[in-house]
């Protein structure tokens, strides 16, 4: 077991999406540290039924941006990560891995924004992912453009959350 | 943006499953801190299409343990959390929320073990979850029984991971 950590707790609760990035690429150290956090994520029966596609080619990123309805953060991203679900995997495990990579990114000063490919077949074609694999989600990543981020915050991106009372039920639905 | 944090990074990479728990219940403060971390998790369009069922009734936990193939850690858990996917939600978002709750738990000294309900209809019936909602996964939680945990570690639970080279592909699958 790890030692308890108030700093980690604050980081987990405090993670927020970053949608506007500076143009420079991720440093190789930051990129690898983020991927390491994905690599070490737990998965059902430790099957690790996943692959991560690391995308920096602008043409690939622009094509991917056509595959979802709210993909603007992709276009400014330094790097796009696409976790691919292998045939015996679960999207739930991919979500766990993605959260780890976003938290690790923030811990290294890298911002991230989750993206949904509403047209998964489109993403599959762009990336050459087989039909029996899943690639419905991506993470746009880059060093935060803090001033653009602050200026661009909408009521949506500042969105609150349901109360604990409305989130939680006891013992049964 | 949060400040970069080497401590958070180490916590994210270092999270490991705990399968053996001490018998005492979670303190209300720990329980609420874990749920808060779930509550603040990001989700697609901030829809928060989820509910969390907090289970401490032993009879409910025993019935749930019949709903999956590898559920033994449930039986010793102080509390079981079942994130429920509402009809317009994604299991990927539930995975993100679950990872946050596991990391928050570890940051408070609470151990956790993800559980799959291979017979989701069974879990739906036990918990009274509607047919168009999802409840395929759970988190067994409790204070770690460190000595039992060390004694019980199998080669499975100490499992390594794929190498970074075999996990990652560049620009396309």
Question: A98: which residues sit within 8 A by CB, 6+ positions away?
Answer: A38, A81, A83, A114, A137, A139, B92, B95, B96
C-alpha count within 13 angstroms, C-beta hemisphere, residue B20: 11
Tokens read off for A17: 């999406």
CA angle A34, B13, A164 (to 5 degrees): 95
Q: Which of B109, B146, B162 sits opposite A4 (nearest CB)?
A: B109
Mean pLDDT of A105-120: 98
**pLDDT higher than threshold 80 for residue B156:** no
Q: What is the pLDDT of residue A157?
A: 54
* A127 touching B (Cβ < 8 Å): yes
Which one, of B25, B114, B24, lies nearest residue B68 by Cα?
B114
Q: What is the pLDDT of residue B157?
A: 54
Q: pLDDT averaged over chain B? A: 94
- Chain mean position to CA A78: 13
DSSP string across B128-168: T--TTSB--EEEEEE-B-HHHHHHH--TTTT-----HHHHE
| pLDDT tens per residue across span A38-82 | 999 999 999 999 999 999 999 999 999 999 999 999 999 999 999
CB-CB neighbors (< 8 A) of A173 in chain B: 51, 53, 84, 127-130, 133
Q: pLDDT averaged over chain A? A: 94
User: CA-based Rg of chain A, rounded to a whole angstrom?
Assistant: 17
- DSSP bridge pairs for A163: none
CB contact under 8 A, B95 and A100: no
pTM higher than 0.90 for the full model? yes
Distance CA A77, CA A56 (A): 9
Q: What is the pLDDT of residue B2?
A: 74
Locate tokens 């039909």: which residue? A131
Mean pLDDT of B9-33: 96
Q: What ipTM was reported for this prediction?
A: 0.95
- How close, in Å, is residue B131 to chain A by CA atoms? 12
Q: What is the pLDDT of residue B150?
A: 83
B154 — pLDDT class (breaks 50, 70, 90): low
**pLDDT higher than threshold 70 for residue B20:** yes
**pLDDT higher than threshold 70 for residue B170:** yes
**pLDDT higher than threshold 90 for residue B149:** no
| pLDDT tens per residue across span A135-154 | 999 999 999 998 888 887 75
Q: Which of A12, A116, A156 sits opposite B100 (nearest CB)?
A: A12
**pLDDT higher than threshold 60 for residue B155:** no
Tokens read off for A109: 């000063």
Q: How far is CA A68 from CA A5, A84, A121, A123, in A?
A: 38, 16, 11, 9
Q: Which domains does chain A have, with CATH numbers?
A: 18-145 (3.40.109.10)
CB-CB neighbors (< 8 A) of A28 in chain B: none
Q: Helix, strand, coil proportions of chain B in percent (round to 5)? A: 45, 20, 40
Question: B110: which residues sit within 8 A by CB, 6+ positions away?
Answer: B26, B30, B34, B141, B142, B143, B144
Please give the span between the terminal C-alpha atoms of chain B, in angstroms, as a whole number.
32
Poorest-confidence range of A15-29, A75-89, A139-153, B77-91?
A: A139-153
Q: Which of A6, A48, A167 sits opposite B162 (nearest CB)?
A: A48
């Amino acid at each position: 077991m790890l030692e308890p950590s108030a700093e980690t707790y604050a980081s987990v609760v405090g993670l927020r999406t970053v949608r506007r990035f500076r143009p420079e690429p991720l440093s190789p150290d930051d990129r690898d540290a983020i991927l390491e956090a994905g690599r070490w994520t737990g998965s059902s029966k430790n099957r690790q039924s996943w692959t991560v596609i690391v995308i920096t080619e602008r043409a690939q990123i622009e094509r991917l941006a056509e595959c979802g309805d709210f993909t603007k953060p992709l276009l400014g991203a330094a790097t796009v990560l696409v976790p691919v679900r292998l045939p015996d995997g679960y999207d739930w495990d991919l979500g766990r891995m993605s959260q780890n990579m976003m938290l690790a990114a923030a811990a290294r000063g890298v911002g991230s924004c989750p993206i949904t490919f509403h047209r998964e077949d489109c993403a599959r074609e762009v990336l050459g992912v087989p039909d029996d694999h899943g690639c419905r989600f991506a993470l746009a990543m880059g060093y935060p453009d803090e001033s653009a981020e602050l200026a661009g915050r909408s009521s949506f991106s500042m969105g609150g959350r349901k109360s604990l009372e409305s989130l939680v039920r006891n013992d049964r639905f």
